[in-house]
Structure 1
Amino acid sequence: MADVRIPPEASATLAQAFKALGDPIRLQLMSMIASAEGGEICVCDLTPAFTVSGTTISHHLKVLREAGLIDGERRASWVYYRPRRELMRQLSTLLAVDEPARG
């Protein structure tokens, strides 16, 4: 559970990340990237998992990158994506709710 209130300057970054995750395809992409074996995944492994075009997948990946949720690295003709774990930890901290102590 969050121990302290988030500062106003951090709220804009976190809001942008939550907004980016508000799309079902981006949420699925983020899940695939975050759970990838070895900590990263090639776009060549992401695209076939969806029925939308590669251009659409690229757009969604761009939104996730701009929101600070993922990093990408080009290797030859492919891009490999990995999660930015610090931002993901901040998001999960905000969502974690502990049961209040009962007296």
Structure 2
Amino acid sequence: MERPLIAVLLVVGLLIGLGVGSAYTRARRGWADYQTVKKSVPGARKTAWLLIRAVTTKVGVIALLLVGAVAYAAAGSDDETAGPAPSPSVTSPSPSPSERAGR
């Protein structure tokens, strides 16, 4: 009578041990991953700020160029001081040789 009870207790103990062991392994692996990521955060943060600074600088330069272009366009050109442009002259067609001879 004792053997089946011991076998059942052994199987139940193995199942509980298997569940607890796999949970412990998962927890250790998660802790190791957490420590790895925790050590890499300062470097990633520094890289992120460098990238943000580079993008901000490029956006600032483009904005300054656009403001300069708008200011240049608003100031107008120097064409008014040069005076009006000459208009094209209308020329009459020259007479053909036969018309000249008939005069």
TM-score (norm 2): 0.20
Greater fraction helix = 2
TM-score (norm 1): 0.20
- Which of these two proteins has the greater Rg computed from alpha carbons? 2
* Higher RCO (C-alpha under 8 Å, 6+ residues apart): 1
